[in-house]
Amino acid sequence: MLTISELVEEFGFKVIAGQAGLDREITDFSLKRPSAELVGYLTYLTPQRIQIYGRTELGLLQQLADEIRYDNLSRVMLSEVPCIVVTRGLSIPSEFIQLAEERSIPLLTTQRSTTQLYYLLIRYLANRLAPTTLVHGVLVDVYGVGVLITGESGIGKSETALELIRGGHLLVADDAVEVQRVDEENLRGRAPQTIRHLLEVRGLGIMDVTQLFGAGAVREEKELHLLIKLEEWEEGKYYDRLGLDPPETFVILGIPVPMVTIPVRPGRQLASIIEVAVMQNRLRSRRG
């Protein structure tokens, strides 16, 4: 959840009016510059979006007669509007303050230009409001490829990650991975704050990877490119031995991720197998 008060703190906005609405939740990462709406064209008014007012919007208002200005603005500043931001420290018409107070809409101001604020806000909101899920597994960066290792508890995910780290690869998250949908095609993973940089290995306990291997052995987040599923070797079960089977996929937040299933039994060098799986996946991607 993201509230207006968090947004005010993040961007250093000055609150002019509507303080009663600072606890409102932001649900839409899109923004609205209501130019056409201010002159009465309300067909595409989207009141759930944050409204941005710059020179263009305020200039349009100033051209309207007083009674028309208030009437048009009241149709745009609906109670559902999360907040309003006026850019460049521009002078704010009294109608804004009156309506913001009456409808508890936080009225904010900033010295940033409209273009700069628009860019910064879109990036911030898209990141904060992107769909997120928690996946049980280990996320590592292997040769620059984000690899999510999954499997039943005790199968050896963390131990395999430790071998990969010793081989020069990077830890992103162990045990719990926050996976976020960045856009229609890409996922990004990171560790929850409470377990960041930590790795749990049975028999050794919980260790801080940065203290053991240095700060260069971890990454804060990484795009997710490949899923490795570890499972107990099952005698008699069919496993691809020739590499001719079509690639498997696993869907996370609506996005299919290439998946490789690796059977686990004593003596198998899982870290080395995963390194080769990453290289094979790279080759398939280039050919595709």
What was the pLDDT predicted at 162? 96
What type of residue sits at position 197?
Answer: H
For residues 119-128, average pLDDT:
90
Q: How far apart are CA 253 and CA 133, in angstroms?
A: 7
User: 129, 146, 177: which is the final residue of a domain?
Assistant: 129
What was the pLDDT predicted at 38? 87
| Token couple for 20 | 């009663």
What was the pLDDT predicted at 210? 95
Q: What share of the chain is helix, strand, coil (3-state, %, to 5)?
A: 35, 30, 35
DSSP state of 174: S
Task: Quick: pLDDT tens for 152-206.
Answer: 988 999 999 999 999 999 999 999 999 999 888 899 999 999 999 999 998 889 9
Q: Are both 10 and 107 inside the same structural domain?
A: yes
Q: Are both 31 and 75 inside the same structural domain?
A: yes
**Hey, how many other C-beta atoms are within 10 angstroms of the C-beta on 205?**
8
- For the annotated catalytic residues, the residue numbers are 136, 157, 175, 241
Task: Quick: pLDDT tens for 227-271.
Answer: 999 999 877 777 676 666 677 899 999 999 999 999 988 878 999
Residue ranges of the annotated binding site for Mg(2+) are 158, 200
CA 205 and chain centroid, separation: 31
What was the pLDDT predicted at 242? 60
How many residues does the structure list for the chain?
288
The residue among 161, 176, 162, 179 whose CA lies nearest residue 225 is: 179
pTM value is 0.70
Task: Quick: pLDDT tens for 79-118.
Answer: 999 999 999 999 998 999 999 999 999 999 999 999 999 9
Q: Could you identify the residue written with the tokens 């101001």?
A: 109
User: 60, 95, 129: which is the final residue of a domain?
Assistant: 129
The 3-state DSSP class for residue 170 equals strand
* Residue-range definition of the domain harbouring residue 64: 4-129
Q: Are both 244 and 211 inside the same structural domain?
A: yes
Residue ranges of the annotated binding site for ATP are 151-158
Residue ranges of the annotated binding site are 151-158, 200
Q: How far apart are CA 129 and CA 108, in angstroms?
A: 21
Q: Are both 269 and 243 inside the same structural domain?
A: yes
Any idea what the CATH number is for the domain that residue 226 is in? 3.40.50.300
Task: Quick: pLDDT tens for 48-80.
Answer: 999 999 999 999 888 888 888 899 999 999 999
Q: Are both 123 and 253 inside the same structural domain?
A: no
Q: Are both 282 and 145 inside the same structural domain?
A: yes
Q: Are both 265 and 283 inside the same structural domain?
A: yes
Any idea what the CATH number is for the domain that residue 55 is in? 3.40.1390.20
Q: Are both 115 and 211 inside the same structural domain?
A: no
Q: Are both 103 and 158 inside the same structural domain?
A: no
**Hey, how many other C-beta atoms are within 10 angstroms of the C-beta on 251?**
9
Specify the pairing of strand 198-201 against strand 255-264.
unpaired
Q: How many domains does the chain have?
A: 2
User: 79, 105, 129: which is the final residue of a domain?
Assistant: 129
